[in-house]
Amino acid sequence: MPKRLYIETVGCQMNMLDSELVVASLRKAGYALVDSPAKADTILFNTCSVRQHAEDKIYSALGRLKHAKKHNPNKIIGVLGCMAQKDQKQIFERAPYVDLVVGPGQLHQIPSLLARIEQGDGQQLEVSLDRKAASREEIERSFESYDPLRDPAMRPTPFQAFVRIMIGCDKFCTYCIVPSVRGPEQSRAPEEIIAEARQLADEGCREITLLGQTVNSYKYSSGGVTTRLSDLLERLHEIEGIARLKFVTNYPKDMSDDLILAIRDLPKVSRYLHVPAQSGSNRMLSRMKRGYTVEDYREMLARVRATIPDVAVTSDFIVGFCGETEDDFQETVDLVGESRFKNSFIFKYSERPGTKSAQLFPDDVPEDVKRRRNNELLAVQNAISEEDNLPLVGREVEVLVEGPSKNAARRHDHDGEQLQLVGRTHCDRIVVFDGNRRQIGQLLPIAVYDANAFTLFGSVVTRHVGPEVYSL
Ligand code: 5AD
Ligand code: SF4
C-alpha to C-alpha distance for 410 and 357, rounded to whole angstroms: 43
Ligand 2 surroundings by CB, under 6 angstroms? 169, 171-173, 176, 178-179, 213-214, 251
Tens digits of residue pLDDT in 250-267: 999 999 999 999 999 999
Average pLDDT over the chain, rounded to an integer: 93
Asked if residues 378 and 346 have their Cβ atoms less than 8 Å apart, the reply is yes
Return the number of other C-beta atoms located less than 10 Å from residue 395's C-beta. Answer: 12
Residue 416: CB atoms within 10 Å? 8
Sign of the torsion angle spanned by Cα atoms 356, 362, 367, 371 = negative
**pTM of the model as a whole:** 0.93
Cα–Cα dist 184/178, whole Å? 10
Q: Check pocket membership of 31 for ligand 1, CB cut-off 6 A.
A: no
pLDDT category at 384 given cuts 50, 70, 90 is very high
pLDDT tens-digit map of 80-99: 999 999 999 999 999 999 99
Q: Report the nearest atom of ligand 1 relative to the CA of 177.
A: 7
Our measurement of the distance from residue 192's CA atom to the centroid of its chain's CA atoms, rounded to an integer in Å, reads 21
Q: What pLDDT is recorded for position 408?
A: 79
Q: Is ligand 1 within 6 A of the CB of residue 318?
A: yes
The candidate with the shortest Cα–Cα distance to 192, out of 159, 155, 222, 214, is 222
Res 465: pLDDT: 58
pLDDT band of 416, cuts 50, 70, 90: low
- Measured from the Cβ of residue 300, the count of other Cβ atoms closer than 10 Å reads 22
For a mutational test of ligand 1's pocket, the pick from 273, 315, 347, i.e. the residue with the most ligand atoms closer than 8 A to its C-beta, is 347
Going by C-alpha positions, the residue among 221, 361, 228 that lies closest to residue 286 is 361
Mean pLDDT calculated for residue range 136-140? 89
Q: How far is the CA of 176 from the centre of ligand 1 (A)?
A: 6
